[in-house]
Structure 1
Amino acid sequence: MVSPKHSLVIFLFCIFGIGCKKNPELAKKKYFRMDTITEISLVLRDKRDKIEIEQCWNSIDSLLKDWEERFSVESFGSEVRLLNEREKNAMPLSPQLREMIQFALDYGDTLEGGFDLTVQPLKKLWGFGENSQADSSLPSEHQIRSALEKVDFRRLKIIGDSIFFSSQQTQIDVGGIAKGFVLREIGKLLNSYGINDYLISAGGDIIVKGKRADGKPWRIGIQHPRNDGAIGALELDSGSIVTSGDYERYRIVDGNRYHHLFNTRTGYSSTKNQSLTVFCLDPAEADVMSTGLFSRSAEEILKFVNSRPRLECMVVDSCGKVFKSRGWQDRVTIFNEN
């Protein structure tokens, strides 16, 4: 039984806000931009005006719309389209596009060409480019070799605020890196509003910070590459998780799966893995790694990741076998590999 004295103490604590805090609120919003659904969950731990939250949502939508228009391959007047339709081999770059391209070029070297932002000719040839129509026909060997001759990130060079193309045939596509960069920007925007607990999911790209409304870490599910639902899950309170998989954009022809993640050495879809999930504090780096390592064997991926303490990963190979990096052995719970 609580004594009257203790009841008074509790009452006074609540009056002065010492011990009784407002229950956190969970606010959610969904957008369709950059050819993907972006879902945002915010934990609001203090009283906020509805107008302020609406301003935050509108700012995020404006940011996504701006990036969609500027960095699309096909959008009329986009910065990327202007580069691909250039009439000269030297072109000016905006600061944001310069940062993205330089980042991609640096990781092109690190990943030995596994990530190549000049892969656009292959994507178009196989019907996986922006606005491509579904087509069951397959390109010929001659067409594949011809497209491969146009793919080589080393033909690009940035000097100052300009990019130089050594070949007029080279075309770029920042789709493999733009989502990671835009997640960075959304995170900065939320921080500017004083929001320190959130989860952002854009397709296979996820970034989290802080805790859920109940004070527990965010629980992240990892998509099963062949079945509905998750193959595994882990708890996370900061950082980014990005999954690339052969189930995202694909078609089956004569019993073979063709998808949008290419081996830039062969010109064909990568066949060694069904999915690759990468953790990193930086969503842009996680984005590049999940694509750039996808063509390697599970053993090669683990060797690469285990040598870099800032990275963790989970691989589902072509047979459905699950491999986890050293730091994820006990952190990731596997539900069902089959």
Structure 2
Amino acid sequence: MILGANMASSQVMRTRDALLMGGRFDITIVAPDSLTAERMIDTVIAEITRIEYLISDWKPTTQVSLINKLAGIRPVRVDKEVLELTERAIAISRLTEGAFDISFAAMERIWKFDGTMTQMPARADVKRARRYVGYKDILIDKEKSTVFLRKKGMKIGFGALGEGYAADRCRALMLSKGINSGIINATGDIQAWGSRPDGAPWRIGINDPFENGALVAAIPLDGAVTTSGSYEKYAVINGKRYAHIINPATGYPATGLTSVTVTGPGAETANALSTSLMVMGAKKGLQLLRQFPDYECLMITDKGKYVTSPGFDLESVRIGE
């Protein structure tokens, strides 16, 4: 949630939303005039669309879809951009010992979080699907620029990681064109830079997972913030809520944390970390975050306890207390 402020400046701010990469993007640009702002929003949409047609696994013509189609058959030659994104995803998988894994997409055949799932999947089905999850079976040949999924039936999906990557790319693109302030909200993965037209900082609200519409904090932001949680996208089965974030080691939804918010320079990395922390839990998650000194986090447990990394000053941004 982006929080407002009074505006009194020669600069103008324009915002537009668009359905991209399977979700809603809200694009805000601050520019000297309305025409420039609207033209830059068009440029941002074009860049996100370009990335979507490169990495989206639900569009049959993308390179990622071809990788999935030819799993267990042969490697697929991909653009450098796709290769490097895959390499970074695998690097996070190694650091988290598989808590983060882009091959979890094979579990999408088992779990549905669109409101249609009313009973638990059969254990045998979960076990069978888990055979196709494992980042170590994603093989990269840098010299040939190929990606190969070792097992037929495997599938990779960049999902929110790709949205974070798109937000990072658009920030860099706008800065290169002299746009020194704006926000890309990629379905909750936010990349902000500069300030509002009146010079005030952008402020981003962190939702309270236990009270719809309420905030637990409002943080000033020049960089990225992402939140992974179990309170917006989930399945309710026999009265129990199951989060959409799957633990690759078990094939079942992660438990223990209700939400994880990560701030730092990049939305791609922040998203990978917030997803990883949801799976790893608070204690191991804080240990992981020590390897990323530019990133901070706020975790909220299933019991409502707040856990923060050392650099996250919750008291200074807490709301309603």
Cα offsets for 1:271-318 (capped at 9, x unmatched): 111000011211111111111221122232223324532110000111
Q: Partner amino acid for 2:175?
A: N
1:135 corresponds, among 80, 99, 117, to 117
Q: Which runs of 5+ in 1 are unaligned?
A: 1-20
2:192 corresponds, among 191, 203, 208, to 208
Q: Partner amino acid for 1:196?
A: N
Q: Aligned residues, how many?
A: 310
2:85 corresponds, among 92, 96, 100, to 100
User: Structure 1 vs Structure 2: percent identity of aligned residues?
Assistant: 26
Contact 1:177/1:287 (<8 A) preserved: yes
**How far did residue 205 of structure 1 move?**
0.6
2:66 corresponds, among 47, 57, 82, to 82
2:102 aligns to what? Answer: 117
Cα offsets for 1:211-257 (capped at 9, x unmatched): 11221211111122232232211112x21111011123212111111
Contact 1:93/1:163 (<8 A) preserved: yes
| 1:274 paired to 2:258 | yes
1:259 aligns to what? Answer: 243
1:33 corresponds, among 17, 20, 27, to 20
2:177 aligns to what? Answer: 193
Q: Partner amino acid for 1:123?
A: E
Change (3 A) 1:308 1:78: closer
| 1:299 paired to 2:283 | yes
Contact 2:67/2:147 (<8 A) preserved: no
Q: Which has the higher contact order (CA 8 A, sep 6+)?
A: 2
1:12 aligns to what? Answer: none
Cα offsets for 1:154-208 (capped at 9, x unmatched): 0112112011332223211111410111011111221132111112212221111
RMSD: 2.1
Q: Partner amino acid for 2:124?
A: H
1:126 aligns to what? Answer: 111
Contact 2:106/2:132 (<8 A) preserved: yes
1:3 aligns to what? Answer: none
Q: Partner amino acid for 2:128?
A: S
| 1:170 paired to 2:154 | yes
1:222 corresponds, among 206, 213, 220, to 206
Cα offsets for 1:54-75 (capped at 9, x unmatched): 3322222222222233322221
Q: Which moved more, 1:207-216 or 1:162-171?
A: 162-171
- Correspondence list, 1:64-83, <5 A: 64-83=48-67
* TM-score normalised according to structure 1 size: 0.86
Q: Secondary structure at the match of 1:328?
A: coil
Contact 2:115/2:235 (<8 A) preserved: no
Q: Which runs of 5+ in 2 are unaligned?
A: 1-7
CA distance in 1, matches of 2:160, 2:133: 15
Q: Which moved more, 1:289-298 or 1:305-314?
A: 305-314
Change (3 A) 1:220 1:123: same
Contact 2:132/2:153 (<8 A) preserved: yes
**How far did residue 336 of structure 1 move?**
5.8
Change (3 A) 1:312 1:332: farther
Q: Partner amino acid for 2:147?
A: I
1:155 aligns to what? Answer: 137
CA distance in 2, matches of 1:29, 1:220: 18
